[in-house]
Amino acid sequence: MDYRKYHNTYYIRIDKNEEIIKNLMDICEKEKIASAVFSGIGGCKEAEIQTFIPESGTFETETLSGMLELVSLNGNIITDDDGKYFHHTHAMLTYKNGNEHKAAGGHIRSIKVLYTAEVELRPVIDGEIKRKYDPETGTGFWNFK
């Protein structure tokens, strides 16, 4: 992985076999970025896609593997009052299944790079977004203080 900051935006190249979400969280911790949004594209080899099931309050996870085109990656990273980092990430991936082109997307737990991923990370400027725990879903939502 390598990255550069130009003005208020970080441009990140994530390399073969690296995990995208972990690298973004590591950069936020290293650069002391408490809240940010990000978007990206790339060629990936594995993705864990999750779907929240409201009736049980749990996530179902499906793992895709093979040549996956990451056509859209969007998300945010925020911290709670204790400084712990959390991400909320969604993505759309395309792939071939035999002769058919397929697409899959949703909430992302992790994505591993096959060739490269290019991500733009934009820290929140002049403010901070915190995480507010929601007991109904067991997840967190944005909290503006």
Phi, psi of 77 (to 5 degrees): -125, 130
**Which pLDDT belongs to residue 58?**
83
Q: Mean of the per-residue pLDDT values for the chain?
A: 95
pLDDT band at 64 (very low <50, low <70, confident <90, very high): very high
pTM of this prediction exceeds 0.85? yes
pLDDT band at 133 (very low <50, low <70, confident <90, very high): confident
The single-letter code of the amino acid at 28 is C
Phi, psi of 23 (to 5 degrees): -65, -40
Cα–Cα distance, 18 to 55 (Å, whole number): 34
pLDDT band at 136 (very low <50, low <70, confident <90, very high): confident
Q: Show the domains of the chain with their CATH numbers.
A: 2-144 (3.30.1330.80)
Cα–Cα distance, 63 to 137 (Å, whole number): 22
Task: Please count the other Cβ atoms lying within 10 Å of the Cβ belonging to residue 6.
Answer: 7
**Which pLDDT belongs to residue 122?**
98
C-beta separation of 10 from 121 below 8 A: yes
